[in-house]
Amino acid sequence: MNSNTFIKELSALVGSEHTLTDRESLACYKYDSTPEMEGMPDAVVLPGSTEEISRVLNLCNNAGVAVTPRGSGTNLSGGSIAFSGGVVLQTSRMNRILEIDEENLTATVETGVITSALHREVEARGLFYPPDPGSMNISTMGGNVAENSGGLRGLKYGVTADYVMGLKTILSDGQLLATGGKTVKNVAGYNLNDLLVSSEGTLGIFSEIMVKLIPKPQTKKTMLAHFPELEQAALTVSKIIAARIIPATLEFLDKVTIKCVEEYAHVGLPLDVEAVLLIEVDGHPAVVDEEAAAIRQICERHRCSYFQTAATPEEALKLATARRVALSALARLKPTTILEDATVPRNCVAPMVKLIQETARKYNLTIGTFGHAGDGNLHPTCLTDERDKDEIARAHQAFEEIFDATIAMGGTITGEHGVGMAKKKYLPKLVGEAGIKAMRIIKGGFDPKGLLNPGKVI
C-alpha cells in the first residue's frame, strides 16, 4: 500500500482531525520524557474507542506498519518513541471512567484515563486506588499498566500489577482479547493479565482496564527525621520493618539532594546531615498513633538529629515539601536531567547509596539520590548538559557500573520506569539467555510480524 492511500484509510477510520501528518506535529511526537532520545513517526492517530483502536491495528497489520502506543508521553525509558517510524497511537481521547462498582470494589476505566482523575473519583466515595507514580497528574492508566508503575506508596500497597483485575487488549491483528474479571479468585487458564502488565506495548494495546479498589485509610501521620550518618538512616528503615510496621511511605533524600532542596526551597534542612527520611503511616487512628510513637523511638535510637511529627494536615504538607520538590530542585541545576530507577533489596539501600556517591566522584559527576527507601527503589539523578558530550559519556559509564552493582546485589535495573529502549542493553545481564528466549517466544506468539512497539524491551 502506498503511503498516501494508507494515510487516507487511517484518517477514514479515526477522522481526519484525529490523524496528524504535518511536519510540525510529527516533530512534536519525536520525544517522550526520556532524555537524549528521539524518533520521528510517519503519522499520529488518536482513536476514540476500542473499535477504532482495533481497526487501526488491523489496518497497520495488513500494511506492515509499526505502531507505537502512547498515553501522555511521560515514559522514562523511550518506550513511547517511534524509533522505526510508523504510527504513534495516542490514547488520550479515551478518558472515561466507565464504572465504579462499590459492591465488588472495582473501577473500570478507558485506557486514557489520567491516574489522578481516578484517585479523585474513588476517594470521593471513600475508596482508594493506591498506585501513585510521580507523574500521576498526567500519566494514563494504560501507560501505568503497560509499565507496571509504582510510586511512593509501593512499600505498603504494592504496584499497579497488584491492582489489575481485568483488561481489554487489542492484539496486533486488531482482535480483542478480554482477560480477568471481577472475581478475586480466577485460575482459568494462563494468567494473561499478569503477562500483559508491564509488557510495555509490545504485546497489545489496552483499551479498557479494571482495577481493584480498597477502603480509603481513615487517617495518616507524617514524620520527618534527619540523620547525620547514612548507615543509621538505612538501619532505621530496616528496623522499622523489623518492628512489624509497614509505613505507607518511607522516602529518602541523600546529601546532594538535601543541598539542592535547601538552596532551592529554603525549607530549613541542615546541610551537615547525610540523609533525611520522610515517613508516613496510615490506617486506624489508634494503630497510627502507636506506630508513629514506635517509629520515633527507632529513629532516636539510631541517632537522628531531628524528628518531627506533623500535628495538622498543613504541617504534614510542609514536612513533605523537601521530598516533593526533590526532583525540581535537582532538575533546575543543569539543563539535562537523567533520572534512573535502580532498585535493590531493602537491606542494600545504604551500600547502594554509598556506591552511587563513589561512582559520581569517580566520574566527576553530580548525582543526587532520592527515592523510595522502603522498597529499595532509588532514583539516582544525574545532572548534566546534553551539549557536553564528554560528561554525557561519563554519565552513561557511571550508570553502567551502578546497574552492574544493582544486579550483583540481587536488585533490578528498573523498578518502575520500564526497559523500553534505554535499558534494553542491560536486560540480558539481568534475566539471562533463558529469560530473553522466553520473552522472545511470547513476543513472537502475540505479534508475529513484530509491529507492536518494535525494538523495545528485547
Partner 1 sequence: MDYEKLINCMRCGMCLPHCPTYKETFLETGSPRGRVALVRKFREEELSMSDQFLDYLSLCLDCQACASACPCGVNAGELVAEFKCEKKGAEGLSFMEELILRRLVPHPDKLESAIAPIRLYQRTGLQKMVRKLGLLKMFPDALERMEGLLPKLPARPLRQTLQEVTPAVGEEQGTVGFFLGCVMSLVFSEASLATVKLLSSLGYKVITPRKQKCCGAPNVLGSDRDGLLEAARFNTDLFSGYDLDYIVTDCGGCGAELKKYGNHLQGDDKAAAFSGKVRDISQLLFERAEHLKMKLNPVNIRVTYHDPCHIAHCQGIRREPRELLKMIPGIDYREMSEADACCGSAGTYNIGKPEMSDKILKRKIANVRDTGAEYLVTSNPGCLLQLKKALEGGDKTVKVIHLTELLLTSMNMALPQPPGTPCL
Kindly list the residues in this chain that would bind partner 1 in the complex (CB under 8 A): 20, 22-25, 27-29, 31-35, 46, 72-74, 90, 92-93, 114, 116, 135, 137-138, 327-328, 331-332, 335-337, 386-387
Distance CA 11, CA 28 (A): 19
Q: Are 80 and 32 in contact (CB under 8 A)?
A: yes
Q: Smallest gap, in angstroms, from Cβ of residue 212 to partner 1?
A: 25
Output 92 or 369, the one with its CB closest to partner 1: 92
CA-wise closest residue to 250 among 268, 266, 233: 233
What Rg, from alpha-carbon coordinates, does the chain have? 23
Q: Smallest gap, in angstroms, from Cβ of residue 264 to partner 1?
A: 9
3-class SS of residue 105: coil
Provide the sign of the torsion angle of the four alpha carbons 114, 115, 116, 119, taken in this order: positive
| CB atoms closer than 10 angstroms to residue 305 | 14
Output 29 or 157, the one with its CB closest to partner 1: 29
Q: Smallest gap, in angstroms, from Cβ of residue 117 to partner 1?
A: 9
Q: Smallest gap, in angstroms, from Cβ of residue 12 to partner 1?
A: 20
Name the pairing type of β-strands 377-384 and 366-372: antiparallel
**Residue 87, H or E segment:** strand 87-90
How buried is 173 (Cβ within 10 angstroms: 0-12 exposed, 13-18 middle, 19+ buried)? middle
Output 195 or 333, the one with its CB closest to partner 1: 333
| CB atoms closer than 10 angstroms to residue 60 | 25
Output 150 or 411, the one with its CB closest to partner 1: 150
Task: Tell me the one-letter amino acid at 79.
Answer: G
Q: Are 325 and 278 in contact (CB under 8 A)?
A: no
Q: Smallest gap, in angstroms, from Cβ of residue 146 to partner 1?
A: 16
Q: Smallest gap, in angstroms, from Cβ of residue 38 to partner 1?
A: 10
Output 14 or 273, the one with its CB closest to partner 1: 14
Output 111 or 309, the one with its CB closest to partner 1: 111
